[in-house]
Structure 1
Amino acid sequence: MTQVFYSSTLFGTMTLAAAMDAGRFGPHDGRRVLLVSNNAAIPEVTPSLDEAPGFAALRPRFDEVWSWNDIVAPLHPSDWKARVIEVPMLERLLRSHLSLGEGAGELVLESVAVPPARTVAALIRDCPITVYSDGLMSYGPTRDPLPLEISGRITRLLHLDLLPGLTPLLLREVGVAPDPLPDAAFRRVLEDMPAVEGLYGEAVILGQYLSALDIVTAEEEAELHAGMLRALAARGHRSVLFKPHPAAGGGHARLLRGVARELGVDLCVAGDAVPAEVCFLALRPELVVGCFSTALMTAHRLFGIPIATMGCDVVLERLAPYENSNRVPVTIVDATVPRLAPDGSIAEPPEADLRALVEAVGFCMQSEHYPALREAAARYIETHGPQARYFKNRRLASVGLVPAPEPARPRPLSRLRRALSR
């Protein structure tokens, strides 16, 4: 049997490795083929995950590695999908290209609701699908509805157990059971990754790519990183590691170096391809701060490192549309992670019923696909009120959790103007 795995990040491939080591894919009796995809905005100038230094430690788990970018070139993998009339032909071509014979025995995908993974699922057919999730997005609802041809084949959801006791919403609407991976398996994968020379820092700042997602402007994101650095300096940290997001480019690091010089802080910048968890393992920092990165949770869950967040309030206010798939991750971090203030102080967030909050937000995001959550969402709003931080009144009204506001009655002068215009 041939198992086909798809991954677009080194962290995702590490998650696959942990699942393999934990026996989730059975013995390595048949072929294991890995499709790697570089989904960066300009993949031609961004190294793919199989070019990252740490990939060599993961490579022996796979018999073959193929580039999805090469297969669909010159099209961008995140934009291209096969037209219905082309599927049978392209399926045969892909099957021949990967030497799948009569087909794959199992297909393993991340982010199945969107291309490239959704495109791969449409072309490698007639086999069961395992979905794996390597981050906080697994706790949110499925981003887009899936056709029955794909959803009917999904048998399980593998995910890191970042929040014990909280069950993922992802794929719950199609009856897929979540299967948490053991922490120990993922830690062993990390320990086998090659050490990175030259890293140092008493604290770590996690960069993201919020401006690339149009959540904030590039200037605001740079100021957010600068604010984190100033707060760490106020706490007495004189050396800080900045871990930029792989898709963010080098601009954030250049700007942050200037702020570090003004503050007298020794700033070390980790390479784009270095997983944040490898930094945690090597440095065991005193504090990790970020906005709503999944790595905040892995730092605390896997290594017991103190964590703090900054900027969630701005992101919650800016996220649009309400269904944005980042909403549940930022809600989770905002509701559970201590908050770092500009003066360096850290305050615990107000106590929250996390499961009820996530289900209420998830229902408001995708009410048509998660009708079973309506009662729980209504109960949460009744108990806690329509918290403006997490809910918008217009969205609550549109899904029927609060009464719709009455339309404003036109003033007499307005009626006169309309009559005159007629």
Structure 2
Amino acid sequence: MPTHEIYEASSLFQVVALCAAIDSGVVSAPGRLRTLVLCTNAPAPELAAPLEESQIVAEASSRFTSVVSLNTLLYPLAPRDFSPRARDMSWVRPLLSSYLGVGRGADVVLYLESLQSDPGLALARVFWDSKIVVHADGLMVYGPSRTRFPASITQRVSGILYPQFVPGLEPLLLREASPRHIPLPLEDLKATVAGFVTEVTEAPVPGEPYALVLGQYLSALGVLEPAEEFELSARMIAYAHERTELLVVFKPHPSAPEPVLWRLREFAESRGIRLHVARGGAIAEFLFHAYPPDLVVSSFSTALPTAQFGYGIPVAALGTDLLLERLTPYENSNRVPVTIADALMGVDGAAQSYRERHGLGPGTSELSALINAVAYACQPDLNPDLAEGARSFASWHMEGLPHTAHKEPQPAWRRYIKLKRARAAGIVAQAPSPSTARDLRGSRWAIGAFRQLKRLSPARRSPDLLRGPSTNNRRKQK
């Protein structure tokens, strides 16, 4: 019975990473049927450049039997809106099988970018009897699952495919399903990137030394207001210029609106900063290989660790302190990526102090303990076995901190785990309840009043004052 592999991807970096996994033999096997399913998930897909028109996809097509666009099939619906009802599966599966070229009786293996949302979850439901490998293109692979999946999904998850963005750090995604980890070494990713660069000949940057700033379009996710994101991008451009005094190349998120780029050009001109906006299909890793910058600046882009650990390029993460406060709810899927960027690459004084004081770095036990503690705080019900480690981590950081009567000590983990969340998850002891606190305050007031009364009253009268009116006096009063 033939095996048909379906690879779903919504970004060019995912396409390159999947090609690297196939080229290196990490996944798949020669002779298998492979279909690459492209999903343009921009807020307005009809205004975005279709992935299938990219030179990268044209080069990648040689690895696949066919390349199809889910946007074309579903139009006017977007891929993220594809969620067929159970009663429609009888005709949806034959339709998709025909469109994807899946033959009758074929064993289907799904390589999905995410099970947290559609279309990945929808494809898993349509091909209900297929094996599932989740491929991760970002730092979210090191964080916990956002939701609890039914057994019909978790029992079919056979592996997690991920580039080794942070050496020595183990993924926590879908750990409740006990999947096999399938790491893609960065050296294999770099080899495939080098092959793609020879085909993508357009030079996206001027031929001179430069600093690279990567935008992320966080306002589209509701994390920041548009004005705040503009200020963060301007701050990153200014920081890159101050650090290097070179030309600054700003590579915006593909969905970033043009008016924002106009304002950034005006900001750079007002500060005397030479700014070049690089729009186009070249992913950041292409620049790292063919036109390596002197510095890479972003907030928590996945390109930061690939630049630092894959290409040895200096990096800086800005705005992570703000994002750690703004991410809501606390278990937001970006919580762990922002934590990693802040702890390893953050330029904020508190982040640098933590990094230097505890020797934090890739492959260290401190980093693993921090990420496990944050993951447990995010999803304690899905990861109860991480509870003891999280408590030990918090307790160890509390040791040796100065205690005063009026100020609670601030251990390093408090930057990443809010105190209220830590108490709710049982990482630290619960605070006294409001009623208990009021009782304690009342008791302290009573004791203080008693001592003040005793101090001010004459010694010979204190017993009477404390005892109250005598029996005779009470009779006279009656």
TM-score by length of 2: 0.81
Query: Equivalent residue for 1:82?
Result: 84
1:322 partner SS: coil
The structural deviation recorded for 1:95 is: 1.8
Change (3 A) 1:251 1:138: farther
Gap runs ≥5 in structure 2: 361-365, 399-410, 440-478
Query: Equivalent residue for 1:116?
Result: 119
Distance 1:230 1:93 in 2: 52
What is the CA deviation profile of residues 263-295 of structure 1, one whole-angstrom value per residue up to 9, with x for unaligned ones? Answer: 222211112532111122222111111111110
1:388 partner SS: helix
Query: Equivalent residue for 1:276?
Result: 284
Which structure's residues are more often helix, by fraction?
A: 2
Query: Equivalent residue for 1:418?
Result: none
Query: Equivalent residue for 1:304?
Result: 312
What is the CA deviation profile of residues 307-352 of structure 1, one whole-angstrom value per residue up to 9, with x for unaligned ones? Answer: 11110000000000011000000000101115178xxxx9884434
Change (3 A) 1:340 1:317: closer
Query: Equivalent residue for 2:423?
Result: 397
What is the CA deviation profile of residues 367-418 of structure 1, one whole-angstrom value per residue up to 9, with x for unaligned ones? Answer: 1111111111111111124633211122112212223333324989xxxxxx
Structure 1: 4+ residue segments shifted above 4 A? none
Distance 1:306 1:150 in 2: 40
Candidates 208, 224, 227, aligned match of 2:216 = 208
1:74 partner SS: coil
Change (3 A) 1:365 1:219: same
> For 1:14-413, what aligned pairs fall within 5 Å after superposition?
14-100=16-102, 101-193=104-196, 194-200=200-206, 201-339=209-347, 349-350=355-356, 351=358, 352=360, 353-385=366-398, 387-409=413-435
What amino acid maps onto 1:358 in structure 2?
I
Gap runs ≥5 in structure 1: 413-422
What is the CA deviation profile of residues 73-115 of structure 1, one whole-angstrom value per residue up to 9, with x for unaligned ones? Answer: 2222213312222223322222233232224431111112211
Q: Identical aligned pairs, as a percentage?
A: 37
What is the CA deviation profile of residues 179-220 of structure 1, one whole-angstrom value per residue up to 9, with x for unaligned ones? Answer: 111222211221122133251351000100111111111111
Query: Equivalent residue for 1:415?
Result: none
1:180 partner SS: strand
Distance 2:295 2:84 in 1: 46
Distance 1:293 1:236 in 2: 20
The structural deviation recorded for 1:50 is: 1.8
The structural deviation recorded for 1:236 is: 4.3
Distance 1:340 1:265 in 2: 23
The structural deviation recorded for 1:29 is: 0.9
Distance 2:414 2:214 in 1: 27
TM-score by length of 1: 0.91
Check conservation: 2:8, 2:36, Cα contact below 8 A: yes
Q: CA RMSD in A?
A: 2.1
Distance 1:411 1:181 in 2: 57
Change (3 A) 1:347 1:52: farther
Change (3 A) 1:399 1:285: same
Alignment: residue pair count: 408
Distance 2:97 2:151 in 1: 22
Check conservation: 1:238, 1:264, Cα contact below 8 A: no
Q: Which moved more, 1:325-334 or 1:392-401?
A: 392-401
The structural deviation recorded for 1:232 is: 2.4
Distance 1:198 1:85 in 2: 49
Q: Which moved more, 1:231-240 or 1:301-310?
A: 231-240
Distance 2:315 2:89 in 1: 47
Check conservation: 2:26, 2:182, Cα contact below 8 A: no
Change (3 A) 1:5 1:236: closer
What amino acid maps onto 1:370 in structure 2?
N
What is the CA deviation profile of residues 223-242 of structure 1, one whole-angstrom value per residue up to 9, with x for unaligned ones? Answer: 11111122222234230111
Check conservation: 1:190, 1:277, Cα contact below 8 A: yes
1:2 partner SS: strand
Check conservation: 2:212, 2:240, Cα contact below 8 A: no
2:220 partner SS: coil
The structural deviation recorded for 1:49 is: 1.9
Q: Which moved more, 1:284-293 or 1:394-403?
A: 394-403
